[in-house]
Copies of this chain bind each other. A is one copy, B any other.
Amino acid sequence: VSSPDIIQAVRWSDDGRGVRIVDQRALPDRYAERDLRSADAVCDAIATLAVRGAPAIGIAGAMGLVVAAGEAGGRSRPEFDAALAALAARIRRTRPTAVNLSWAIDRLLAAAAAVVGAPAVVLDAMRAEADAILEEDRAMCRRIGECGLPLVHDGARVLTHCNAGALATGGMGTALAPVYLAAREGRRVSVWADETRPLLQGSRLTAWELARAGIPVTVLADNMAASLMRAGEVDLVLVGADRIAANGDVANKIGTYGLAVLARHHGIPFYVAAPSSTFDPATPDGDAIAIEQRDPDEVRNAFGRRTAPADVPAHNPAFDVTPAALVTAIVSDRALHHPPYDFGRRPRGEGRRPNP
């Protein structure tokens, strides 16, 4: 078994003057990298989901702000500061609900404000801060992989949902990190990837990145997971999380809750893997989490082809909530957390980094 070749979703261009992304709009039809070399290109890529996944969006936004601000590098410091503020606001607006994006932009603005001197010096500080965000994310993913590694035994058949992989982060992903590390350790591991309607991140992205890394993966329609479990074909379920309440209730991509119920019925362990920044001490339980309702046309269409009558209502919640009682353990970058969960207090000195 060779070490898995894990895709790097966001990095600097070879000449350091652009942000190189894997264009996720083109997948799975074709693999395309794009260099974002202007504010326009950065904003377009984020707005059109060429880059997606909370951590990856934050990283691309931070690196993109460095690239965009570089265009004003020859101006006076006051002019540069004004341009930077405008660019930051503009990038932030591309995904207004992406808390990670705002968080990353804020970090770069703070780094810039802390520097006295010419724009070139400010740009160096911003680039260092963007590098730090990327490296912190890579380290976070690796630590999730290490904390979750004991869950993925040799021969494990893992069922996952949506994409919580390398394509969503700067590193090896969250839910997929223990899978990649297990493969790197030489364990034989295979993955069942739910296609994850309506936007099909599982079949389009998870299947693609795992196959590229040489990890056996099989796609299934979401409604096929139950009979696979009954047939004894699933050893564990491993999914990501968008937010984890203080009591351990988990908000994640729609369909996650159903998998948790099915796993419990079949005696299969159900694990959630997510950065500790996903823990939300201010949210006591899942009932306090508002569920975003998305455009019904995402359900009434697939790839622009109509799948349901246009005048029939469609239900399209983005997330569901899995009660903590159905979660066997939660893997974070800090630990493998077992119930009863208590994420009600932040560790000292650590700010919350929300993952919308």
Q: A225, A226, A305 — which one has the most chain B CB atoms within 10 A of its CB?
A: A226
Within 8 A of B (CB), among A185-230: 192, 194-198, 200, 203-204, 207-208, 211, 217-228, 230
Copies, count: 2
Instruction: Report B-chain residues with C-beta under 8 Å of the C-beta of A161.
Output: 223
Nearest B-chain residue to A261, judged by Cβ: B265
Beta-carbon contact of B306 and A305 below 8 Å: no
Instruction: Report B-chain residues with C-beta under 8 Å of the C-beta of A226.
Output: 255, 257-258, 261, 320
Within 8 A of B (CB), among A295-346: 299-300, 302-317, 320-321
Beta-carbon contact of B312 and A218 below 8 Å: yes
Beta-carbon contact of A315 and B224 below 8 Å: yes
Instruction: Let me know if A28 is at the binding interface, CB within 8 A.
Output: yes
| A262→B198 CA distance, assembly (Å) | 20
Instruction: Let me know if A56 is at the binding interface, CB within 8 A.
Output: no
Nearest B-chain residue to A255, judged by Cβ: B223
Beta-carbon contact of A218 and B314 below 8 Å: yes
Q: Which of B203, B258, B309 contacts A258 (CB 8 A)?
A: B258
Instruction: Let me know if A254 is at the binding interface, CB within 8 A.
Output: yes
Closest CB in chain B relative to A132 CB, distance in Å? 34
- In the complex, how many residues of chain A place their beta carbon closer than 8 angstroms to a beta carbon of chain B? 56
Instruction: Let me know if A29 is at the binding interface, CB within 8 A.
Output: yes
Beta-carbon contact of A219 and B262 below 8 Å: no
Q: Which of B302, B310, B317 contacts A227 (CB 8 A)?
A: B317
Encoded as 1 (CB less than 8 Å from any B CB) or 0, chain A from 165 to 186 comes to 0000000000000000000000
Instruction: Report B-chain residues with C-beta under 8 Å of the C-beta of A310.
Output: 28
| A127→B195 CA distance, assembly (Å) | 47
Beta-carbon contact of A28 and B224 below 8 Å: no
Closest CB in chain B relative to A78 CB, distance in Å? 51
Within 8 A of B (CB), among A26-71: 28-29
Beta-carbon contact of A308 and B195 below 8 Å: yes
| A192→B313 CA distance, assembly (Å) | 10
| A29→B194 CA distance, assembly (Å) | 27
Beta-carbon contact of B258 and A317 below 8 Å: no
Known contacts A222-B197, A222-B222; decide if A204 and B258 are in contact (CB<8 Å). no
| A261→B227 CA distance, assembly (Å) | 10
Instruction: Report B-chain residues with C-beta under 8 Å of the C-beta of A225.
Output: 258
Can you identify 24 A-B contacts, CB atoms within 8 angstroms?
A28-B307, A161-B223, A195-B308, A197-B197, A200-B307, A200-B308, A207-B309, A208-B308, A211-B312, A218-B315, A219-B308, A219-B313, A219-B315, A221-B222, A221-B254, A221-B299, A223-B255, A224-B320, A227-B257, A227-B317, A262-B262, A302-B302, A302-B307, A303-B305
